Amino acid sequence: MEKRDELYRGKAKTVYYTDDSDKLILHFRNDTSAFDGEKIEQLDRKGEVNNKFNHFIMTKLEEAGIATQVEALVSDTESLVKKLDMIPVECVVRNLSAGSLVRRLGVEEGKELSPPIFEFFLKNDALHDPMVNDYHILSFGWATESQIAQMKALTFKVNSVLKALFDEAGMLLVDYKLEFGVDKDGNIVLGDEFTPDGCRLWDKETRKKMDKDRFRQGLGSVVETYIEVAERLGLSL
């Protein structure tokens, strides 16, 4: 597999074409960003840690029957993935209150949400990723009714697999964001990444924050804590 030109440079990953028109390479960089790119820092080893973490989680999801974009690790910081036509919305599930939900509704942080809350956000940095609902997605043609239903069902299926995985390793999966795309056969496939950059994880006993909130809130030991999460799951980095 040969890496070709850059297709897209995001805030933390760069996507490259390959010599196979159905495959791309995702390069996980050390860049860490928060607040729509207002705070950006280079964190040593983060690209490697997130690349390997993402591969580990996506493999677990594949084993549970969820189709993902990931094909193989190709280097410490790069993965080979299927090319998808990405749907421009973010799917968020919340098991405990935190982050923008707390700010938006004025609820206390750490309240158990039963049932878990599902939210859609439009991927648009300039507009600060506004919250949207099914009607916006349908009216503007970002996805079909069936694709919306599949994204919701798959996001909740991921919740049941990963809540149990993190629970067994002494962590609470507070919330997370997923992105989906459509493959060449028209199937909805999980794309982008699942890493501590895109979810909230708390230690079950102490509620220590073990995710990107350490960076957002200046708590320090960001990559060291991501490595601790990986090690608790049995992945040595």
Q: Which residues bind ligand C5P (CB under 6 A)?
A: 90, 92, 98-101, 129, 175-177, 198-200, 212
Closest CA to 49 of 223, 173, 215, 234: 223
We find the least distance from the C-beta atom of residue 130 to ligand C5P, in angstroms, to be 11
We find the least distance from the C-beta atom of residue 90 to ligand C5P, in angstroms, to be 6
Looking at the Cβ atoms of 128 and 184, the one nearer to ligand C5P is 128
Q: What are phi and psi of 207, to 5 degrees?
A: 60, 20
Residue pair 82/189 in contact by the 8 Å Cβ criterion: yes
Looking at the Cβ atoms of 16 and 194, the one nearer to ligand C5P is 194
Looking at the Cβ atoms of 124 and 187, the one nearer to ligand C5P is 124
Residues 6+ apart with CB under 8 A from 166: 172, 173, 201, 233
166, containing H or E segment? helix 145-168
We find the least distance from the C-beta atom of residue 199 to ligand C5P, in angstroms, to be 5
We find the least distance from the C-beta atom of residue 154 to ligand C5P, in angstroms, to be 16
Residue closest to ligand C5P (Cβ):
99
Two tokens, residue 213: 């909130």
Looking at the Cβ atoms of 18 and 197, the one nearer to ligand C5P is 197
Q: In whole angstroms, give the CA distance from residue 60 to residue 165.
A: 9
